[in-house]
Structure formats: structure tokens, C-alpha cells
């Protein structure tokens, strides 16, 4: 019998809150949400810094503008994933 095989001993009804699989998934989701929030805060700080005169950080205006676009897109994807408006 493989570890993946479901038996009476290892069966878990995912609708039950005490199911180990559900507990593990909830913990992982919480961990990923926390990481995504931290990343979003870092991206917001980078955008703020760049918007407030950090253009000298990039070799060219075009690269600077693309960095801002990329960071802002990252923030929006993170916010959408977290279900946040702002």
C-alpha cells in the first residue's frame, strides 16, 4: 500500500475542521498570505521611493519607467490575490 492510498485509518473528511490536511492547508495559506502582505509592503515602499525622486537609481528613464510599471503591477496582483482594494 502506498502513502497516497486512502484507507479507513487515514481517511479525512476535508469538511471537518479537525482534519489534518485542512489544518495543514490553512496554515500554509496563512503563511503565504503573510508573505504576500510583506512583499506588497516592500513593493509599495519601492514605488514610493522611486516616485519621490529615485530616478537616479536606474540607468535610463525608460528603464526607470518600466521598473515603476513592473512594481505597480506586482502590487496590484498582490492586492487582488489578498482581496484588498488599496
Q: d(Cα 44, Cα 86) in Å, to the nearest integer?
A: 11
The predicted structure's pLDDT at residue 1: 46
Query: What's the whole-model pTM score?
Result: 0.58
The predicted structure's pLDDT at residue 53: 77
Name, in order, each residue with C-beta under 8 angstroms of 74's C-beta and a sequence gap of 6 or more.
39, 43
Q: d(Cα 12, Cα 18) in Å, to the nearest integer?
A: 9
**Environment class of 75 (CB within 10 Å of its CB; exposed 0-12, middle 13-18, buried 19+):** buried
Give, for all 86 residues of the chain, the pLDDT tens digit: 455 676 666 677 767 667 787 888 888 899 889 988 888 888 888 888 788 877 776 778 888 888 888 888 888 888 888 886 55
The ranges assigned to domains in the chain are: 35-82
Amino acid at each position: 500500500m502506498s502513502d497516497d492510498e486512502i484507507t479507513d485509518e487515514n481517511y479525512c473528511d476535508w469538511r471537518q475542521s479537525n482534519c489534518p490536511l485542512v489544518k495543514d492547508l490553512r496554515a500554509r495559506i496563512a503563511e503565504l498570505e503573510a508573505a504576500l502582505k510583506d512583499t506588497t509592503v516592500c513593493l509599495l515602499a519601492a514605488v514610493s521611493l522611486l516616485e519621490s525622486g529615485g530616478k537616479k537609481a536606474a540607468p535610463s528613464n525608460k528603464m526607470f519607467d518600466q521598473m515603476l510599471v513592473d512594481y505597480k503591477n506586482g502590487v496590484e496582483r498582490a492586492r487582488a490575490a489578498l482581496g484588498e482594494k488599496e
